[in-house]
Structure 1
Amino acid sequence: MFFSVVIPTYNRKPILEKCLRSLEQQVIPPNSPIEGYEVVVVDDGSTDETVGWLRANAAALPHVRLFLQDHQGPAAARNLGVEKATGDTIIFIDSDLVVTEVFLQAHAAALVEGTKRLGSDRLFTYGRVINTCNFDDPTAEPFKVTDFSAAYFATGNVAIARHWLEQAGLFDTRFQLYGWEDLELGVRLKNLGLTLVKCPAAVGYHWHPPFALSQIPNLIDKEIQRGRMGVLFYQKHPTWDVRLMIQMTWLHRVLWGVLSLGGRLNERTLAPLLQWLIDRGKPQLALEIARVFLNWYNVQGVYAAYDEFLASKA
C-alpha cells in the first residue's frame, strides 16, 4: 500500500513544523506492507509564514507536496488533498498533531490485520489522539481519561482506502464553519458498512496552547459555529443519533442549563475561579470547568440555528 497523509492547515506554522518533521522520521521495516508514502499539505489561505517556510525547507521535507487554496475551510482542503494524492490509502491528520516514528507502520499493520479478519477492506483504522499543551516535548504526554473518544470517524487520526472516500462522496464543503464535517462523512461511511478498527499503536499528540482567559471569546465563537454546523448535519441526516451528537435534545438543554444555572455561570462570573486555577498551574482543570458554559453556548447556538432553519421553511 502507498500512503498519502493529507493535512489541511491554516496559520499553524510553529506546530506544523513539528508535525511534518515527525512524519519525516517514520521507521518502516523491510517486511512492511508500506510501499511508500507522501505528505500532502493543503494550505487553506494561511496569513502567517506557513507557505514561505514550507518552500524554504522543501529539501528537508522530501515527502511533502504542497498545494494552496483560498480560505475555504478544512472540508474543501481535505477534498483537494485527496484529489491531489497519489496513494491508494489516505491518512487524515490535523496540522497540530505530532506522531511517533511507528505511526505509519502501526496503521498499515492494523489495516492488513483488519482486512484478513473481516475478509474485506470495508474498514478504516482509528489511531489514538493524546491532547497536550507541552510544545517543547509533546510526545511526553501520557494518555488521560479525557483523551478517550467515542467518535466513529474523526479526521484527527484515521487511515482508509481511498476508493471508500470517493464512493462516499468525500467531505461536504458546505461545512465551512467549525465542526462536524468529518463526523458527517462518517455517517455516510457507516451506511456503506465500514467497520471502525481501533489502532492505539498509531499515536498522535494533539498540541494546543495552555488554556488562558484570553482564549474564551474564540472558544465561545467556535461553539456557536459548531451549533450552526450541527443543524446542517441534522438537515442531512435527521436521526436521533445525530441529535444526540449535536446536543439538540431536551436532555442537553436541561443538563447544561442546570449546570450553568441558566447561563449565570459564564465567562464573566467564573473568570476569577478560572484565573485562580490557571495561576496555580491547573489550566486543564480550568478548561474542563469552562466547558460548562461553553456547552451551554453550543446548545443555545444549535437551537437558534434550528429556529432559523424552521423559519426559512415556513
Structure 2
Amino acid sequence: MNGCSFQTTIGGRVNRFRLRNLKNYKRGLFQISYRPRFKKDTVARYDWNCAERKHNELAISVIVPTFNRVETLVHCLSALECQQLPPNESFEVIVVDDSSTDGTATLVKQWNKNFSRVRLLRLSHNGGPGRARNAGVIASLGKLLVFVDSDVIVKPGFLYAHWKRHGESLGCVSVGPVYYIDHIAEHKRHRFRWWTDASRAFFCTSNAAVEKHLFIKSGRFDADFQKYGWEDLELGERLRYVFDDGTKESMTSKEKRKMNIPRYFVKQAIAYHYKPPWTIGDLEKSIEQERQRGEMGVLFYKKHPTFRVRLMIQLTWFHRCLWLILSLFGIINEYSVKPLVIWLMDKRQYGIAHGLWSIVRNRITCEVVFSGLKE
C-alpha cells in the first residue's frame, strides 16, 4: 500500500493523497469543534475488523451513492472514517458505484484493503441516485440507515449525534444542518443559525437518518424518479405516516397528524456540501437540471396532490407571478443574461452571477411544472 496514491484537482488546486498517510490527512481536514461524550472511564475507539462482527451488532449503515465523483469521494470517505461510536457499537460505509467511469471502484477497493468497514457495491448500469440508495440498503447490515451524498463531508461527531438521537427516540427521522462550501478545506461557519441553517425538508439525503425497518415499510425510494430531483422529499412524504398496526387507510387526517413519525433536527450532526465555483459549462447543465426538476416535480405532485407539495415544487400562482416579475416579464432569460453572467464569473463575482442565473432557473422550473400539469 506504500505505492497507492491518488491525485485530484479540485477548484484548480492539485491535491495528492496517499492511503499510507490517511490518519495524518484526516487530522488536518477539520478543526474538531464537537466531540462525542461517553460514560466515565470509557474510551471511544475504532473497530476496524467490523466484517467479523455478527450482523445484528452493527449499529449504523452509511449509504453513499456516487457517480463519477472520485475527487470528492476521497474526502467524503476520509471524514466518515474519522467518526466515533461507543466501544460496543460499530458502523459500515457502503459506497454504491452507479456505473462510474472515473476509477471510483478502484479507489474504494484500495480503501477497503486498509479499512474493512468501507464496502463497494457496483451497479451494472446507471439508474439514478434513488435506485442506488435502495441497492445500498438491501446490502446493508445496520439497524440505522444514514444517508450521505458523495460530495458531502461530515464533521467528527456526525454519526454519534444521529445514533444518540435515535437511541433516545425510537421510530423517528433525524436530519442535520448542511453548510454549502466552495472549497474542500473550508470550515469557517461554526455558528449555527436556526433561521438559515435548519433544514425545512422532512427527509434530505445529504444529511438524514432513519431506522431500517421504517425505511423498508415506507416502500423505499420510488424508482419512477429517474431524472434529477425530488426522490428524497417524495420518500419523506411517505415516511410521515408509517404505522405498525395497519390502520393507515382508516385514519382521518386529524388522527394522522397526531400519530405521524416524529422528525428531529440534530444540529450537532454537521455536514458540508461541496459546491465548486461555477464554470461556463455549468450554465447549460444547470438549465437542463431545472427542466428535469420541473418534470419530476409534476410526477411528485401526481403522487402526492397536497398543498404542501404544491409549495415545494412552486406550483402556485404566487411563485409564477414572483418569477415573472423578477425576470422583468421575460427580459431576463437564459439568452439575454448569459453574456453578463459569464462576464461576472470572469471577474469572480460568483454571488451576483449566481443570483441572476437563479432567477432564470427558477422561472424555467416553475413554467415546466405548470405546463407539465396541463399536459
Contact 1:13–1:49 at 8 Å: present in 2 too?
yes
The partner residue of 2:329 within 243, 262, 283 is 262
CA–CA separation in structure 1 for the residues paired with 2:370 and 2:338: 26
CA–CA separation in structure 2 for the residues paired with 1:191 and 1:231: 22
The partner residue of 1:16 within 73, 86, 95 is 73
Q: Deviations over 1:92-111 (max 9, x none)?
A: 01110011121111111222
Map residues 246-285 of structure 1 onto 2, 5 A cutoff. 246-285=313-352
Q: Deviations over 1:116-165 (max 9, x none)?
A: xxxxx231110111101112x04345568765531111111011111110
3-state SS, counterpart of residue 90 of structure 1:
strand
CA–CA separation in structure 1 for the residues paired with 2:261 and 2:311: 21
Report the counterpart of residue 22 of structure 2 in structure 1. Answer: none
Say if 2:144 is the partner of 1:89: yes
The partner residue of 2:262 within 176, 179, 195 is 195
CA–CA separation in structure 1 for the residues paired with 2:196 and 2:151: 18
The partner residue of 2:167 within 107, 112, 123 is 112
The partner residue of 1:25 within 82, 94, 102 is 82
The partner residue of 2:95 within 41, 47, 50 is 41
Deviation, 1:191, is: 2.1
CA–CA separation in structure 2 for the residues paired with 1:100 and 1:23: 8
3-state SS, counterpart of residue 38 of structure 1:
strand
CA–CA separation in structure 1 for the residues paired with 2:329 and 2:61: 47
Report the counterpart of residue 118 of structure 2 in structure 1. Answer: 64
Larger RCO (CA under 8 A, 6+ residues apart): 1
Looking at secondary structure, tell me which structure has more helix per residue. Answer: 1
Greater Cα offset, 205-214 or 35-44: 205-214
Say if 2:222 is the partner of 1:155: no
% identical equivalent positions: 41
Map residues 216-227 of structure 1 onto 2, 5 A cutoff. 216-227=283-294
Report the counterpart of residue 177 of structure 1 in structure 2. Answer: 227
Say if 2:62 is the partner of 1:5: yes
TM-score (norm 2): 0.75
3-state SS, counterpart of residue 73 of structure 2:
helix
Consecutive unaligned residues of structure 2, counting only runs of 5 or more, are 1-57, 243-259
Consecutive unaligned residues of structure 1, counting only runs of 5 or more, are 116-120, 309-314
The partner residue of 2:215 within 137, 147, 165 is 165
Report the counterpart of residue 311 of structure 1 in structure 2. Answer: none
3-state SS, counterpart of residue 14 of structure 1:
helix
The partner residue of 1:75 within 115, 119, 130 is 130
Report the counterpart of residue 124 of structure 1 in structure 2. Answer: 173
CA–CA separation in structure 2 for the residues paired with 1:133 and 1:282: 13
The partner residue of 1:215 within 264, 282, 304 is 282
Deviation, 1:250, is: 1.3
Contact 2:176–2:198 at 8 Å: present in 1 too?
no
CA–CA separation in structure 2 for the residues paired with 1:161 and 1:286: 41
Contact 2:228–2:296 at 8 Å: present in 1 too?
yes
Contact 1:100–1:139 at 8 Å: present in 2 too?
no
CA–CA separation in structure 2 for the residues paired with 1:106 and 1:180: 26
Deviation, 1:276, is: 4.3
Query: Which letter does structure 1 place at the counterpart of 2:93?
Result: V
CA–CA separation in structure 1 for the residues paired with 2:107 and 2:372: 39
Query: Which letter does structure 1 place at the counterpart of 2:97?
Result: D
Deviation, 1:259, is: 0.8
Q: Deviations over 1:265-290 (max 9, x none)?
A: 12332234433443443313421331
TM-score (norm 1): 0.89
Query: Which letter does structure 2 place at the counterpart of 1:179?
Result: G
CA–CA separation in structure 1 for the residues paired with 2:197 and 2:339: 27
Greater Cα offset, 178-187 or 274-283: 274-283
CA–CA separation in structure 2 for the residues paired with 1:138 and 1:60: 27
